[in-house]
């Protein structure tokens, strides 16, 4: 869901053949421990300001009014999501794909959720001409304790290897 939302602002959506696209929907689920707490004589308190600051809770008793408000919020988020996709990808038939379902590469392409299929390796190979391909790595700076520990570890390992080599050499004399 969120991944597709971010992707659809791009100029082009390129998906791998087995990429999963779509999932234009909203889900919220939560357990409710109210009866378990009540059965074990455990109180739960929640303090909020604003009638709908917290609609459903996992510890308190939920009301039908709170459930209706929660569902209305989810429906509103879904509508905003579909509107966002429609405005950024007008080629998508949002009523057909805004159901929460997902599709793999080729099926997603057929539904205009992607513009073409291509693996990341193939994409890089396509663009080798005219560009410099560089690899960037980040290596965290080690503290002096880590450096000392690493040096000690390497020294012990070198000594151990010499000892093994010496033992092995003596066996064949």
pLDDT tens by residue, 37-89: 999 999 999 999 999 999 999 999 999 999 999 999 999 999 999 999 999 99
Q: How confident is the model at residue 124 (pLDDT cuts 50, 70, 90)?
A: confident
Are 93 and 169 found together in one domain? no
Catalytic residue among 1, 69, 86, 111: 1
Catalytic residue among 38, 39, 53, 141: 53
Q: How confident is the model at residue 133 (pLDDT cuts 50, 70, 90)?
A: confident
The parent domain of residue 77 ranges over: 2-126
Produce one character per residue of 141-169: b if its CB has 16 or more CB atoms within 10 Å, e if not.
eeeeeeeeeeeeeeeeeeeeeeeeeeeee
Are 104 and 148 found together in one domain? no
Is there a catalytic annotation at residue 23?
A: no
Instruction: Read off the pLDDT of residues 156-169 as tens digits, 9 standing for 90 and up.
Output: 999 888 888 887 77
Are 157 and 76 found together in one domain? no
pLDDT greater than 80 at residue 33: yes
Are 159 and 94 found together in one domain? no
- pTM beyond cutoff 0.75: no
Largest CA distance in the chain: 89
Tell me whether residue 9 is in a domain: yes
Are 159 and 104 found together in one domain? no
What number of other Cβ atoms are within 10 A of residue 120's Cβ?
9
pLDDT at 64: 96
Are 97 and 165 found together in one domain? no
Q: How confident is the model at residue 173 (pLDDT cuts 50, 70, 90)?
A: low
Are 116 and 37 found together in one domain? yes
142 within 8 A of 41, measured Cβ to Cβ:
no
Tell me whether residue 136 is in a domain: no
Are 56 and 107 found together in one domain? yes
Are 36 and 119 found together in one domain? yes
Pairwise pLDDT comparison (134 vs 20), residue with the higher score: 20
Rg (CA), the chain: 29
Are 101 and 157 found together in one domain? no
d(CA 22, CA 5): 9
Are 31 and 107 found together in one domain? yes
Are 150 and 73 found together in one domain? no
Q: How confident is the model at residue 100 (pLDDT cuts 50, 70, 90)?
A: very high
Number of domains observed in the structure of the chain: 2
Is there a catalytic annotation at residue 1?
A: yes
């Amino acid at each position: 869901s969120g991944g597709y939302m971010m992707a659809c602002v791009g100029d082009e959506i390129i998906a791998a053949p087995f990429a999963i696209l779509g999932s234009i929907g909203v889900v919220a689920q939560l357990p409710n421990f109210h009866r378990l707490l009540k059965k074990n004589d455990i109180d739960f308190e929640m303090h909020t300001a604003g009638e709908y600051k917290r609609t459903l809770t996992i510890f308190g008793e939920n009301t039908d009014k709170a459930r209706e408000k929660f569902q209305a919020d989810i429906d509103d988020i879904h509508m905003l999501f579909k509107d966002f996709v429609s405005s950024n990808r007008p080629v998508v038939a949002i009523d057909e794909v805004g159901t929460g379902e997902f599709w793999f590469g080729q099926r997603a392409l057929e539904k205009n959720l992607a513009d073409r299929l291509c693996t990341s390796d193939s994409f890089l190979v396509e663009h080798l001409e005219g560009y410099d391909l560089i690899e960037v790595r980040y290596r965290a700076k080690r503290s002096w304790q880590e450096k000392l520990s690493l040096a000690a570890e390497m020294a012990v390992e070198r000594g151990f290897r010499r000892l093994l080599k010496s033992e092995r050499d003596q066996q064949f004399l």
